[in-house]
C-alpha cells in the first residue's frame, strides 16, 4: 500500500508523477514559486510528497519538457518565466483520456468559431494573429518546440476567451487548459517534432482565423471542425470517429508507408517487418506509428558490435523495456551499473540517465520498446 496514493483504488499509480507535477505547477501558478526561483532538491521533494526520487525525477522531466522549469546541469532546477498558461487545475482532469478531451473539444470549439464569425467586428482578433505569427516564426526552431506548442495552444485559448456565450467560453477554456498539463504537452510535442506537422498546424490555424474574419459562420465552424479532426487523426491514427478524413490505411489492399531497408508484409491488419542487416535503420525502430497506424507502443532492436565504445548517456520521457537477444553487456545508470547477458530483460524508468556498453566478444543485440508509437522525447547528457 502506498501511503501517498489517496486516489482510492483507481488505476493511477503510474501517473503519480503527474500529480507531483500538478502540485508543483499549482505552487508556481499561485506565486509560491516565482519565475527564476530555485526548486527544492529531488531529495527534499521526495520527502515532501512521500514518493520515490525516481517519481520526483519523472515529474521534473515532464515539467521540463512542458517548459515550466529549466534544469541547469550541475546547478539546479529553476522555475521558467511563463507569461501565460499554467492556470489552476483540479485533479480529476488528469483522469481524462486524450480521446475524451479531443472528442469534447470537437463538440465545443466549432460552434464557438461559428459565433465569433457572426460578429467579427465585435472582437479583437489581433492578439490571436500575434500568437499565430510568433508560432510561425518558431516553426524552424526545433529547440523552441515547447514555446511553439505553447503559442499554438494559446490560439485555442484566445478564441475561447472571446466567445460571447460565457458558458461555451468556460467549457472551451477548461478543455484547452487540460491540454496544457505536462502529459498533454508531451503528447503534443511528440507529434509536433515533425516540421511538416508544425507547418500543417499553423496553416490550419490561419485558415480558421481567416474564416472567422471573412468567410461567415458556416465556413468558420467547418474550418475549426476540420482542424480538430486532423488533430484527432494524428493523436489516434486508428480512430474511427471522424467521417471527413481520408480512409485509414488498414482496409485490405492497404499500402503502408515502407521504410527502404525493411520488408513489410501485410496480411489483413498484421504487419511483419524483416530488417535488412545490411541497412540497419538509424533509430532502430521496427514497429512504430510509421508503419503501423494503429500501434500504441513501439518495438526496436539495436546491435552494438563488440569492441565499440559505450553509447552516449541519454534519458527518455517515458520508461523503456529491453530484452537481451544476444551477447552480454553493461548498463551504466544514474544509480550504478547493471551487468546483463543474453536472455535477461531490463526495465529502465522514465527520465533515468543510461548508456549501453558491449562488454562481451560478440555482437550485443538489444530489443527495446517504449509505451508510445514513436521514440519518446529524449535528452542527451552533454557532459558524457
Ligand atoms: Zn489547433
Model confidence over 240-257: pLDDT tens digits? 443 333 333 333 333 333
Same domain, 281 and 360: yes
Using N-to-C axis directions, what is the helix angle for 195-214 and 216-235, rounded to 10°?
Answer: 160
| The pLDDT value given to residue 278 | 67
Is 288 inside any structural domain?
yes
Is 5 inside any structural domain?
no
Same domain, 270 and 309: yes
Chain segment 130-153, per-residue pLDDT in tens: 989 999 999 998 778 878 888 888
Residue 64 has pLDDT above 70, yes or no: yes
Chain segment 300-357, per-residue pLDDT in tens: 988 899 988 888 888 887 889 999 999 999 999 888 899 999 988 899 988 788 999 9
Exposure letters 123-149 (e unless 16+ CB within 10 A, then b): bebeebbebbebbbebeeeeebbbebb
| The pLDDT value given to residue 12 | 35
Where residue 354 sits, what CATH number does that domain have?
A: 2.60.120.10
Q: How far is the CA of 167 from the centre of ligand 1 (A)?
A: 21
Mean pLDDT lowest among 4-18, 48-62, 204-218: 4-18
Last residue of a domain, one of 46, 79, 112: 79
| The pLDDT value given to residue 15 | 63
Q: How far is the CA of 156 from the centre of ligand 1 (A)?
A: 6
| Domain boundaries, position 195 | 95-235
Residue 383 has pLDDT above 80, yes or no: no
Same domain, 73 and 132: no
Same domain, 363 and 290: yes
| The pLDDT value given to residue 382 | 60
Q: Higher pLDDT residue, 304 or 270?
A: 304
Q: Report yes or no: 355 and 384 within 8 Å, Cβ to Cβ.
A: yes
Is 87 inside any structural domain?
no
Average pLDDT, the chain: 77
Q: Higher pLDDT residue, 61 or 98?
A: 61
Is 89 inside any structural domain?
no
Q: How far is the CA of 383 from the centre of ligand 1 (A)?
A: 37
Same domain, 154 and 124: yes
Q: How far is the CA of 377 from the centre of ligand 1 (A)?
A: 21
Rg (CA), the chain: 23
Q: Higher pLDDT residue, 177 or 225?
A: 225
Where residue 69 sits, what CATH number does that domain have?
A: 1.10.10.10
| The pLDDT value given to residue 255 | 35
| The pLDDT value given to residue 132 | 92
Same domain, 176 and 266: no
Is 229 inside any structural domain?
yes
Is 102 inside any structural domain?
yes
Chain segment 68-80, per-residue pLDDT in tens: 788 877 788 888 7
Chain segment 115-132, per-residue pLDDT in tens: 999 987 778 899 899 989
Same domain, 216 and 104: yes
Q: How far is the CA of 30 from the centre of ligand 1 (A)?
A: 27
Q: How far is the CA of 227 from the centre of ligand 1 (A)?
A: 7
Q: Report yes or no: 120 and 97 within 8 Å, Cβ to Cβ.
A: no
Chain segment 172-187, per-residue pLDDT in tens: 888 887 766 666 666 7
Same domain, 101 and 181: yes
The angle subtended at Cα 273 by Cα 268 and Cα 274, nearest 5°, is: 140
Exposure letters 54-79 (e unless 16+ CB within 10 A, then b): bbbbbbbbbbbbbbbbbeeeeeebbb
Same domain, 170 and 282: no
Residue 2 has pLDDT above 50, yes or no: no
Residue 9 has pLDDT above 50, yes or no: no
Is 136 inside any structural domain?
yes
Arithmetic mean of pLDDT, 44-72: 84
Q: How far is the CA of 152 from the centre of ligand 1 (A)?
A: 6
Phi-psi region of 80 (alpha: psi -120 to 50; beta: other; left: phi over 0): beta
- The strand pair at 285-287 and 270-275 is best described as unpaired
Is 31 inside any structural domain?
yes
Where residue 102 sits, what CATH number does that domain have?
A: 1.20.120.530
pTM of the predicted model, to two decimals?
0.45
Arithmetic mean of pLDDT, 175-200: 76
Same domain, 99 and 221: yes
Q: How far is the CA of 342 from the centre of ligand 1 (A)?
A: 47
Q: How far is the CA of 72 from the centre of ligand 1 (A)?
A: 31
Last residue of a domain, one of 218, 235, 252: 235
Same domain, 371 and 278: yes
Taking the C-alpha atoms of residue 178 and residue 95, their distance in angstroms, rounded to an integer, is 10
Give Cα 71 distance to the centre of its chain: 19
Same domain, 102 and 21: no
Number of domains within the chain: 3
Q: Higher pLDDT residue, 226 or 275?
A: 226
Last residue of a domain, one of 186, 218, 235: 235
Chain segment 38-47, per-residue pLDDT in tens: 999 989 999 9
Amino acid at each position: 500500500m502506498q501511503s501517498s496514493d489517496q486516489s482510492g483504488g483507481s488505476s493511477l499509480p503510474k501517473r503519480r508523477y503527474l500529480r507531483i507535477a500538478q502540485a508543483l505547477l499549482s505552487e508556481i501558478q499561485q506565486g509560491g514559486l516565482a519565475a527564476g526561483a530555485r526548486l527544492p532538491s529531488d531529495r527534499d521533494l521526495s520527502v515532501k510528497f512521500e514518493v520515490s526520487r525516481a517519481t520526483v525525477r519523472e515529474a521534473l522531466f515532464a515539467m521540463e519538457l512542458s517548459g515550466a522549469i529549466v534544469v541547469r546541469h550541475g546547478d539546479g532546477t529553476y522555475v521558467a518565466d511563463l507569461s501565460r498558461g499554467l492556470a489552476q487545475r483540479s485533479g480529476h482532469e488528469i483522469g481524462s483520456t486524450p480521446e475524451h478531451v479531443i472528442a469534447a473539444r470537437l463538440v465545443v470549439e466549432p460552434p464557438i468559431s461559428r459565433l465569433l464569425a457572426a460578429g467579427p467586428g465585435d472582437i479583437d482578433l489581433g492578439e490571436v494573429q500575434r500568437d499565430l505569427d510568433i508560432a510561425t516564426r518558431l516553426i524552424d526552431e526545433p529547440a523552441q518546440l515547447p514555446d511553439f506548442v505553447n503559442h499554438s495552444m494559446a490560439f485555442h485559448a484566445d478564441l475561447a476567451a472571446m466567445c460571447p456565450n460565457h458558458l461555451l467560453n468556460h467549457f472551451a477554456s477548461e478543455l484547452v487548459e487540460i491540454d496544457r498539463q505536462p502529459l498533454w504537452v508531451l503528447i503534443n510535442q511528440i507529434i509536433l517534432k515533425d516540421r511538416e506537422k508544425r507547418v500543417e498546424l499553423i496553416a490550419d490555424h490561419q485558415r480558421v482565423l481567416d474564416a472567422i474574419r471573412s468567410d461567415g459562420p458556416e465556413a468558420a465552424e467547418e474550418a475549426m471542425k476540420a482542424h480538430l479532426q486532423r488533430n484527432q487523426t494524428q493523436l489516434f491514427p486508428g480512430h474511427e470517429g471522424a467521417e471527413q478524413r481520408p480512409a485509414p490505411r488498414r482496409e485490405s489492399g492497404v499500402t503502408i508507408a515502407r521504410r527502404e531497408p525493411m520488408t513489410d508484409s501485410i496480411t489483413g491488419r498484421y504487419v511483419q517487418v524483416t530488417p535488412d542487416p545490411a541497412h540497419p535503420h538509424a533509430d532502430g525502430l521496427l514497429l512504430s506509428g510509421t508503419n503501423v497506424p494503429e500501434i500504441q507502443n513501439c518495438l526496436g532492436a539495436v546491435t552494438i558490435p563488440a569492441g565499440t565504445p559505450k553509447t552516449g548517456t541519454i534519458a527518455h520521457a517515458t520508461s523503456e523495456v529491453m530484452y537481451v537477444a544476444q551477447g552480454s553487456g553493461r548498463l551504466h545508470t544514474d544509480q550504478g551499473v547493471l551487468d546483463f547477458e543474453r536472455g535477461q530483460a531490463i526495465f529502465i524508468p522514465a527520465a533515468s540517465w543510461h548508456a549501453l556498453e558491449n562488454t562481451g566478444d560478440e555482437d550485443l543485440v538489444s530489443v527495446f520498446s517504449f509505451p508510445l508509437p514513436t521514440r519518446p522525447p529524449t535528452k542527451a547528457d552533454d557532459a558524457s
